[in-house]
Chain A
Amino acid sequence: MNRWLIGLLAGPLAIGACKNDASNLLRGAGDDSLGVEAVDPGAGPVPAGLPGQALASKAPALRRLTHREFELTASAFLGVPVSAEVLPRDARTPFDNDYSTQAISDAFVRPLESMAEKLAASVIADPAKRDAVVGCVPTGPGDVECFTSFVKHFGRLALRRPLETDEVLSFTALIEVAKARNDFYVAVDLALRSFLQHPEFLYRVEVGSLVGGSPGLVKLNGFEVATRLAFFLTGAGPSDALLDRAAAGKLDQPQGIRNAAAELLATPAARAQVLRMFQMWMGYERLAQPDPLANAMRTESDALVEKVIFDDNRPWLDVFRSTETYISDALATVYELPLPGAQPKWVSFGPGRKGLLSQGSLLSNGQKFGDTSPTQRGKWILEQITCDGVLPTPPGLKLDEPPKAETANACKHDRYMALQANPSCASCHKSIDGIGFGLEGYDETGKRRKIEPGRPDCAIDGKGNIPGAGAFSGPAELTDLLLKSGKLSQCMFKQVKRFANGRRELDSADEEYVGSFSKQYSGEVKMKDFLLDMVSSEAFGSRRSP
């Protein structure tokens, strides 16, 4: 009997248990009935033509867990809520897992020690949770067998690999403390605190083994693949079941990884992870609007992404094309639509709006000087949605004051247009601001407007253009132009790659990797298919040393 089931079922991830049987990989049921080489019908076979090892991403062997990863992972195997707020917060680039921004400091290490102490105490204080974590009932303070089994099992979950014999012994020596203090759980407490601060818990370790004939190329072992897979798709470390698969060698081949990934993608944790990826990518993780409007805005966007990608499993571009949206009364008021009533509902967006780009959450991006900024909005679209990027701001420009026109008290449109009259500014601002001008008919909450704020004399025409693509007015027409450009999916490949890499910078191998996916899909792509293809490529199980 797998006694670890006692406890792990009580953990927070058990919420997925009744949703879908596929949550075994998170719940730790130890079900490894699927064969390594067999094709899981839900996963499908690994397609030909996916990026090979040569296109593995550059990555260090260590990457520290983010706040979110720490919280999800620790709460999963401790069975108690975990907040990492006391640790220095993660930078966003736009994702929170950019290892190039991470550094270790006293302000991380010391509060972590305190946090680990409190977490362990909270587990020990609750007999049900404690027993679940320990997995056995000790016969006395010095029950070495029970303590050893706890160390082996918990240690494997925490370090994401089996412990070596000498490592086990170093932990089980703590039983002497339990004997001296006549309390078995003193040793459990110390072990929990040690694991929560252990480097192989705090850092994702990808040492792997060097691939002969390919300098710098490292093939990850099965446990490292399980770790990479779990953090990428669920935001948390691997479960018992996934580690079991790694131990059985079932993650050594792409098909085995694909099968496991398909199961993970069927879990609530994967939904939450994908939604969060979109929140950071699309700039609505944190919204400046006060609640309840901010919550309503985030809920609207989450609902659309979840429906398209998970509920309906439609082509991912439908997040831009959808003519329906999920709104509450707060947002209906903003959008000037009929109130849905007590609960949010799916409603028709009506004319002029479609998809994410019409939603208040995305339209909240690009504010400056107390209002929307055509420059900032255009820049945001070019950087985050089409991945065209913009040139660095040239030296000597005044960025901290609103643009000025020759005419005093000029309208905002004229002030921004004045930038285009300046030869040194024109080339960039023409390509950037045109996009923002086309969205000016919508304020930072997504509400339509016809005049500039506080300037009844300044009418907004809301007409914009993308050089080389055409003119548009409003987010629906902008969406049409972007869809026509074919850039949206390629940008999505890049953004997901950045998220998977944990690094904003994409090098030439990464660009080639992204390009290969652009070639891979002749038609439209579903996000889950793309994620499955990513993780079952040879490149996923490898890294290049920086």
Chain B
Amino acid sequence: MSKNVINRRSLLRGLGGVAIALPALEIMGWSRFAHAAPVVKKKFVSMLAGGSLGDMPAIKGGNGKVHPATVGQNYETTVALKPLEKYKVKPLVGIATGLRIPTGSSEPGARLSPDKDTLFHGHTVFPQLSGEKDPSLKQGDFTPRGSTCDQIVAAKLGAKYMNARVQPTSYRGGGADSGRGLMSYNKGVKRDPYASPRTIFDTFLSNFEGAAGAAAATGPSPEVLAARAGRKSVLDLVGGGIQRLNKRLGAADALTMQSHLEFIRQIEKDLDSIDIAAGGTSCRKPTPLGADPAVGNDGAAIGWSGENLRATTMVDLLALGLACDLWQVSTLQVSFHQVFVSANLACGVDTTLDIHELGHGQYKTADDVPRCVAWAIDPFARLVSLLQAQKDVDGSPMINNTALTMCFEGGWGETEGDGSHSTENMIALYAGLAGGMKPQHVRADGAHPAQVLYSAMTAVGVADPLGDFNTRLPGMFA
């Protein structure tokens, strides 16, 4: 018989079922992990909101709509920061202000182009997320050469990760999945996000019982084991197909296949170490999820796809995944670089414009833009509150073992921008108590926002550089 014939492991997997439930349990290593001592894992979450969401020129000068005036722990709850009070998480959230991405210079993490406008959108994002200098002078090419913070952390910790996005499509300009809808790259290769809560649910959670389920005590049912064995058989055949094909390919194409195979192998690994025993008591059976809100106005100038409900659902799923150890690292992109989302439907602002145009001085009141900043912060605050409520495997609040960050596409300033397009006076939020982080208002004039991300990386034990950055932001730690 040929050595390529289905291997014994696959066959055993395929044989899963009532009649072989006990051997299968051993094969799956159930008894091993059912009794394994819980290990607390550090968790890392990076979020991003597109749009020029900083304070606007007309309201700059410390009128307290976005930036708090008081440094330290007792900072003011500005209009933009109201979600922190809504979710009662302000003591867990810090804010770094006065941040700046240098422009047209050789400084670390600079946007290489001196161009303030043409190469603004997206070109401000990856200097933050990857800590690199803007790699391109070409409009619309945002691709970093290296890896974003989430990928660096995931690789270093050997952690499973989730990339997700709230805004499902770009609406105007650039198509459904232009580079503006991305915030994760691994060595220059994009990591597409899950843009549908329903898909996340169906992919990861539809048959999930949670730690409190009946299976927690007895192990998975024979039906579950049979289904899992079937998946393994299928993945074996797929993996075998990849390896077979790879022998016929040149180096570049083989790399594509190798990357594909790695994702297949990750699913296999997850099947081997799956679910119930890994999470703490907060790992619960999810409530069934309905259909996603319809994607609206695709291709239109201003769009709306029920982003508020999408954000809430996505955050709840992310929190559950962290609780159940389905992933340890996560990104969540609230909105595309430029936000062609209806400002009225998202932030309740009296306007017919999108959030992006609002940021171009098209606001009617000084609260309009800060309210849209608050809209972007709301999912961040919600996630913090969920992680505060959830118990880790050692019974401690999950937020104690987590570092979260939230970055924005732009700030405001007249020196290197025109108020609406500037990488001056940027803010970044951080939260969690991992690694001794100290939530407070850190006034960090001139510091690069990538330093906030790097600091959060170190909080979960990853000291590898983030692009050009390898120093913490003073003030973020006790």
Residues of A at the B interface (CB closer than 8 Å) are 60-62, 85-86, 88-93, 103-111, 113-114, 116-117, 165-167, 169-171, 173-174, 176-177, 180-181, 186, 189-190, 193-194, 197-200, 203, 205, 207, 286-288, 367-368, 370, 392-401, 545-546
Contacts and interface: CB of A to CB of B under 8 A. Distances in A.
Contact of A170 (B19, B192, B240): B240
Nearest to B240: A170
A192 to B, nearest CB: 9
Interface string B199-220: 1001110100000000000000
A190 B233 contact: yes
Q: Which of B11, B117, B189 has the most CB of A within 10 A?
A: B117
Contacts of A189: 230
A106 B176 contact: no
A113 B231 contact: yes
B297 to A, nearest CB: 7
Contact of B191 (A86, A106, A117, A200): A106
B139 A170 contact: no
B5 A106 contact: no
Nearest to B298: A286
Given A106-B263, A110-B267, A207-B249, A200 B17 contact: no
6 contacts: A86-B196, A108-B263, A111-B194, A181-B17, A197-B235, A286-B299
A85 B298 CA distance: 14
Interface of B: 1-2, 4-6, 10-11, 14-15, 17, 19-20, 113-120, 137-139, 161-163, 169, 175-178, 189-196, 199, 202-204, 206, 226, 230-231, 233-235, 237-238, 240-242, 244-245, 248-250, 252-253, 256-257, 259-260, 263-264, 266-267, 297-301, 356, 360, 418, 420-421
Contact of B259 (A104, A107, A180, A200): A104
B18 to A, nearest CB: 9
Given A105-B191, A166-B2, A194 B238 contact: yes
Contacts of B235: 113, 197
B175 A92 contact: yes
Contacts of A286: 298-299
B203 A111 contact: yes
Contacts of A173: 5-6, 10-11
Q: Which of B113, B193, B233, B418 has the most CB of A within 10 A?
A: B233
A193 B163 contact: no
Contacts of B202: 86, 111, 114
A109 B260 contact: yes
Contact of A400 (B196, B199, B230, B420): B420
B117 A288 contact: no
B286 to A, nearest CB: 15
Given A113-B267, A394-B118, A396-B116, A288 B203 contact: no
Nearest to A176: B11
Nearest to B160: A106
A395 B115 contact: yes
Q: Which of B161, B175, B298 has the most CB of A within 10 A?
A: B175
B233 A174 contact: yes
B117 A398 contact: yes
B421 A400 contact: yes
Nearest to B303: A288
Nearest to A197: B238
B247 to A, nearest CB: 10
A393 B118 contact: yes
Nearest to A88: B192
